[in-house]
Amino acid sequence: MKKRQLRRKEKVYTEKVPKQKKIHSKKAVKWIWCLILFLCFSGGLAFFQSMKTKVQVSFLKDEIQQLQKKEVQSRSELTYTPEIESFMNRFVALYMNTFDNHEQEQQRQETLKKEFYAQNFIQEPGSVSGVRKLTAASFIGLKEIETIPTASYKVTYDIRSMNPESKKETSVTITQVLNLPFSISNKGCRIIAYPYFTALPKNTEKQRMITYDDTLYETVDASEAKDVEGFVEDFLDKYAKNNAKDMSYMMKEPEGLNQTAKVDQVEMKVLRYKETKKTFIVKATVVFRDGDTSLLQKEQMTLVITKKTNQYYVEKLTHNWLDRKGEERK
């Protein structure tokens, strides 16, 4: 009997491969979106912060510019106070009037030095020949010229001198602007630079005379216009003769010339506003004759007239032809 040989079954060893951890796709997407939202929020916040900063910087810049503008205006808009007026009037009178007498001229120079000029002011040279006499002076402006407060006066003066050949006195009349650089404090005023003359500035402003826009108005019928014209003529006659108190029964804001003039001539148009057709608007040119001199004075008037209980009444009187947008147009 044959013996069976038993074979051992060989064990096969296999290496265990570690399992990969599964990444949950939902969680990953969630985290990615969170990251994106965070970045967007951070970027937006940074953008708004930068915009806010820009706005603040722009606002501060505007404020600084406004403050600088106000400072410049406050420096340039000087006030002509009674103190400055008194100082300048006295200075102009003394400065402009010179003397051919040595003692008088010396006294003038000493007074200028003591009461008007700055401490280190160098005296002006004395007149060689002739004198200067002021005939008229009027204040025309006060402003800063190169940061220096300067008062300007229109002055008219005569230069009188002796002609060496004919031995006769000659006189020349001159009108100029006298400019006076000065300083002022609570202690007083001083002239801090030599006064200087400049030519009178030319008035280059071009303006048209005030008139009215006739497209806003319509004429009234002839009979009604005649009644209004009669009232205006009577009103102007009383206006020239009476004072304000006496005119109170004819007008809302009474005024009168109180016999200082007489009405010489009147031209007028009686109109109505197209949009309301209520009140009468009279555009008048009135020539007054002065009571004492007979001089003529032409004036433009606008009268807003209403009719109440068969009586005309001046609601408003203005001394020009400017179109109004007030109660009279309602």
User: What pLDDT digit, counting tens, does each position of 7-50 carry?
Assistant: 555 555 555 555 555 555 666 777 777 777 777 777 767 666 76
Q: 148 or 3: which carries more pLDDT confidence?
A: 148
Q: Please return the burial class of 231, using the count of CB atoms within 10 Å of its CB with bins 0-12, 13-18 and 19+.
A: buried
Its CATH class, for the domain covering 82-198, is alpha beta
Options 3.10.450.540, 3.40.190.10, 3.90.120.10, 3.40.50.300; CATH of 214-329: 3.10.450.540
Q: Which two tokens stand for residue 130?
A: 């002739």
What are the angstrom distances between the C-alpha of 154 and each of 96, 112, 166, 201?
A: 12, 20, 33, 10
The whole-angstrom separation of Cα 122 and Cα 134 is: 23
Per-residue pLDDT tens for 176-224?
Answer: 999 999 999 999 999 999 999 999 988 888 899 999 999 999 999 999 9
Per-residue pLDDT tens for 102-132?
Answer: 899 999 999 999 999 999 888 766 655 689 9
311-318 and 296-308 strand pairing: antiparallel
Please, where in the chain does CATH 3.10.450.540 lie?
82-198, 214-329
Pick from 244, 255, 319: nearest CA to 285: 319
Alpha-helical runs (H) found in the chain? 25-76, 82-96, 102-115, 222-241
Angle of helix 102-115 versus helix 82-96 axis, rounded to 10: 160
| Cβ contact 281:269 at 8 Å | no
